[in-house]
Amino acid sequence: MSAVIILLALIVVWALAYHRVAQWIWVTGLLVLMLAHTFIGHTPKVWLVLEWIVFILVLAPVSILFLRRRLISNAVLAWYRKVMPKMSRTEKEAIEAGTVGWEAELFSGKPQWQKLLAIPAPHLTVEEQAFIDGPVEQLCRMINDYDITQNRLDMPQEMWQFLKDNKFFAMIIPKSYGGLEFSAFANSEVLSKVYGISITVATTIGVPNSLGPAELLLRYGTEEQKNHYLPRLARGEEIPCFALTGPDAGSDASSIPDTGIVCRGQFDGKETIGIRLNWDKRYITLAPVATVLGLAFKLYDPEHLIGPEEDYGITCALIPTNMPGITIGRRHFPVNTAFLNGPTQGKDVFIPVDWIIGGTKMAGQGWRMLVECLSAGRAISLPSSGIGGGKMAALVTGAYARIRKQFNLPIGRFEGVAEALTRIGANLYYMDAARRLTMAIIDQGEHPSVLSAIMKYHATEIARRMACDTMDIHGGKGICLGPHNYLARFFQSSPIAITVEGANILTRSLIIFGQGAIRCHRYVLSELRAAQDPDIKQGEKLFDKALFGHIGLILSNIFRSLFLGLTNGRFVKAPVSSPGVGRYYQLLTRCSADFSLLADFSMIVLGSELKRKERLSARLGDILSKMYMMSSVLKRYEEEGRQGTDLPLVQWSCQNALLEIQQQIDGVLQNFPNKAISIILRCLIFPLGKPFVAPSDHLSQQVAEILLSPSATRDRLTHGAFKGNVIGEVESAFLAVIAAEPIEAKIHKAVRNGIIKNQALSALITAAVNADVITAEEHTQLLAANKARQKVIAVDDFAPEELVH
């Protein structure tokens, strides 16, 4: 009988923990168990009394609030205050900035899938679509990127004018100020399309529409500042840039040495309270042509002219670049791209104090302003560069692999090449799914700080790998620069996106999990806030609530991980029943529980040390990122109407993500600083060993085939890519070559049957038509296809003097 009670107890405890029931249900459940044990079993009375004493001693302090605080949570709070990570004001501001949503569900260990599926799909308005089909298409046709990057080292003047006239710099500015007021999704569609053909043009458009004066003005500017600058920015009369980085403050941007001292001075012939600024900045995009400079500096007010404080901290102001004391106009030359980027210095530049963005009330708020704006901008601009490059890469590389023949076969038919094609196709689907979801989240009004770091890091890293794959497949065609090389600048410039807006090593190692652990975790931020609450009583109350929520979460994840590991998630209720897809929801739920458990134990064991254990933090960040991206793939599949032919892309992406998640979990466990805990965690997470394997060769081949043939799936995958100019020639050749393949097959058959002799291609085609193997019409079609093929495989050559400027 007691064995039955023990088994029953186990099942009850397991079920309560698994479903994360409220505390009173726990207490009731355990009480019922004890009563059953008391009245049904034959346990000696002495034992029963002892058991009841232990039961009450354990349960009472946990379930009676007054006792719980006194005996447990206040003691933990005292300890926590001692070991709590020390955070600077800028760190605190960075952590508090932005919002969290779906990523927090993944962090919880028990994602509510309906919340994901309820996020509306991103869409373009009629006006946005017309802009893409009109001015954006026209711009793409105007672009000759080789001319821009090799000959002019700038866009032609008429292109600058076209951009201004069509309000390309005003996508985020509201209509009331004369802007286009586009959604984040539209903004990213425009940028992706242009990024696919010119990094120079797209970056020039991207900067004013992401982290720049317009964004800062919109969110924090005074009415006067908005009314003055926004219409002028919308009309292109002002060209903005934003200067934060300097020689001594790169990744550690909050350490800028640039200063602004509040003082009295003469401005416009009047004595004015102003700021005397000194700065030395570099790498500033659009600075060489900027008419208005957004500047970040540290503000000091030694004479207390604007308030009681002396050291305000980072502050942002808007400064016309024609002010005396400003040096601007020199250029850097970022890996052979021609967007305008350069240094600027300011020596004793005196500006009125109300040029601070938002006025004096925003003095010292600069870091928070920047981090908050960065969270949306960073999720849009740089990921768009990866998506744009990726769409172009998938389109042309699949086509080229079908057009280019070696050993009498299109190179795409060789497994080695197909392997690289698979990576391009599936990673594009995966990365674009994440972009679509992130844009939808931003368009709902969120400013997702953790997601923006995830998107920035993964989209740019994936694009860099794609650039390598696509170059490899093109062989010498990719290497030789010239007007017909549509690839090399994408490859060459991939480190730019990696470096800017938070260099990638730092983003991966420090930011994604570092910020995610605090922002996405259900209880950590509440614990931190409670521990810092100046109202001691209130702090104790809040800390107790967060602490016991946290303990419940860990207990639940212990049981969930083990159960989901033993069953491999088979009993999880998938929110959709699409064949071939529902299983991934179950497996991702399993990963979420494992990750949540791992994250908590990493924080408990390492505490503030985790900040320095960047390898562990990076792995945990990868797990969170890959869960997010995989969930976006599942969502995209639903949004696009469960197209069965897209399944190989969905399945490859999910299987690959699961394998990578498993590898990173394994990496954390292998390197976990506490071996005993690592062994226990391994038993809970992988009770039956590591379950995930790489996608099969068969599935990989199915993905490669999507790039090698025209289809609705290929169109969906590369939707939005520019298909004109040189890229248009590749696409037409691709279609012509495929249409001519049956004609070629007839000729090869005739050669095998001895009807005609094998010979050089042009002679062979003539022999085939003469021998009536093919018709005159087919002859013309084949010649045209071969001409198109030759044009695509050709590379540019130059007279030596043409290469010297």
Ligand X SMILES: Cc1cc2nc3c(=O)[nH]c(=O)nc-3n(C[C@H](O)[C@H](O)[C@H](O)COP(=O)(O)OP(=O)(O)OC[C@H]3O[C@@H](n4cnc5c(N)ncnc54)[C@H](O)[C@@H]3O)c2cc1C
Examine residue 461 and tell whether it contacts ligand X (CB under 6 A): no
If binding means CB under 6 A, how many residues of this protein chain bind ligand X?
22
Chain centroid, CA 558 distance in Å:
30
Number of H helices, E strands in the chain: 34, 9
Q: Which residue has the tokens 């998107």?
A: 455
Closest approach, Cβ 520 to ligand X, in A, equals 20
Residue number, 332 or 405, with CB nearest to ligand X: 332
Residue number, 454 or 707, with CB nearest to ligand X: 454
Q: Binding to ligand X (CB under 6 A): which residues in 508-527? A: 509-510
The amino acid at residue 296 is A
SS (H, E, C) 692-711: CCCCCHHHHHHHHHHHHCCC
Per DSSP, the residues of 449-470 read: HHHHHHHHHHHHHHHHHHHHHH
Closest approach, Cβ 427 to ligand X, in A, equals 22
Q: Candidates 143, 244, 293, 624: give the one binding ligand X (CB under 6 A).
A: 244
| Interface segment toward ligand X; rule CB under 6 A; list 104-112, 181-189, 235-243, 743-751 | 235-243
Out of 105, 461, 501, 540, pick the active-site residue: 501
Residue number, 509 or 655, with CB nearest to ligand X: 509
Distance CA 313, CA 540 (A): 31
Residue number, 111 or 288, with CB nearest to ligand X: 288
For 646-724, where are the alpha helices, taking DSSP H only?
Answer: 647-670, 675-685, 697-708, 712-717
Examine residue 200 and tell whether it contacts ligand X (CB under 6 A): no
| Interface segment toward ligand X; rule CB under 6 A; list 30-38, 279-287, 426-434, 446-454 | 279-287
Examine residue 382 and tell whether it contacts ligand X (CB under 6 A): no
Is 501 annotated in the active site? Answer: yes
| Interface segment toward ligand X; rule CB under 6 A; list 138-146, 241-249, 313-321, 438-446 | 241-249
SS3 content of the chain, % helix, strand, coil (to 5): 65, 10, 25
Collapse the DSSP code of 205 into the 3-class scheme (helix H, G, I; strand E, B; otherwise coil) and give the result. helix
Residue number, 459 or 703, with CB nearest to ligand X: 459
Examine residue 243 and tell whether it contacts ligand X (CB under 6 A): yes
Examine residue 43 and tell whether it contacts ligand X (CB under 6 A): no
- The encoded tokens of residue 47 equal 């034992």
Q: Candidates 496, 598, 703, 706: give the one binding ligand X (CB under 6 A).
A: 496
Q: Give the other-Cβ count within 10 Å of 89's Cβ.
A: 13
Burial class (CB in 10 A: 0-12, 13-18, 19+), 5: middle
Distance CA 448, CA 383 (A): 14
619: which DSSP letter?
A: H
Examine residue 567 and tell whether it contacts ligand X (CB under 6 A): no
Closest approach, Cβ 620 to ligand X, in A, equals 15
Number of residues written out for the chain: 805
Residue number, 505 or 677, with CB nearest to ligand X: 505
Examine residue 341 and tell whether it contacts ligand X (CB under 6 A): yes
Q: Are 258 and 315 in contact (CB under 8 A)?
A: no
Q: Candidates 43, 150, 222, 251: give the one binding ligand X (CB under 6 A).
A: 251
Q: Are 170 and 233 in contact (CB under 8 A)?
A: yes
99: which DSSP letter?
A: B
Residue number, 343 or 648, with CB nearest to ligand X: 343
Q: Which residues of 534-570 are buried (b: 16+ CB within 10 A; e: fewer)?
A: eeeeebbbbbbbbbbebbbbbebbbbbbbbbbeebbe
Closest approach, Cβ 283 to ligand X, in A, equals 4
Distance CA 342, CA 355 (A): 23
Residue number, 209 or 592, with CB nearest to ligand X: 209
Q: Give the other-Cβ count within 10 Å of 334's Cβ.
A: 21
Pairing outcome for strands 259-267 and 270-285: antiparallel
Q: Binding to ligand X (CB under 6 A): which residues in 588-627? A: 614
Closest approach, Cβ 638 to ligand X, in A, equals 36
Closest approach, Cβ 673 to ligand X, in A, equals 19
Closest approach, Cβ 608 to ligand X, in A, equals 15
Q: Which residues of 719-735 are buried (b: 16+ CB within 10 A; e: fewer)?
A: ebbbbebbbebbbbbbe
Q: Candidates 334, 412, 425, 648: give the one binding ligand X (CB under 6 A).
A: 334
Bridge partners, 350 (sequence order):
276
| Interface segment toward ligand X; rule CB under 6 A; list 236-244, 622-630, 687-695, 697-705 | 236-244
Closest approach, Cβ 215 to ligand X, in A, equals 13
Examine residue 773 and tell whether it contacts ligand X (CB under 6 A): no
Examine residue 544 and tell whether it contacts ligand X (CB under 6 A): no
- Residue in the shown chain whose Cβ atom is closest to ligand X: 250
The amino acid at residue 442 is I
Closest approach, Cβ 412 to ligand X, in A, equals 34
Residues acting as catalytic residues: 501
Site residues for ligand X per CB under 6 A: 241-245, 250-251, 283-285, 334, 341, 496, 499-501, 503, 505-506, 509-510, 614
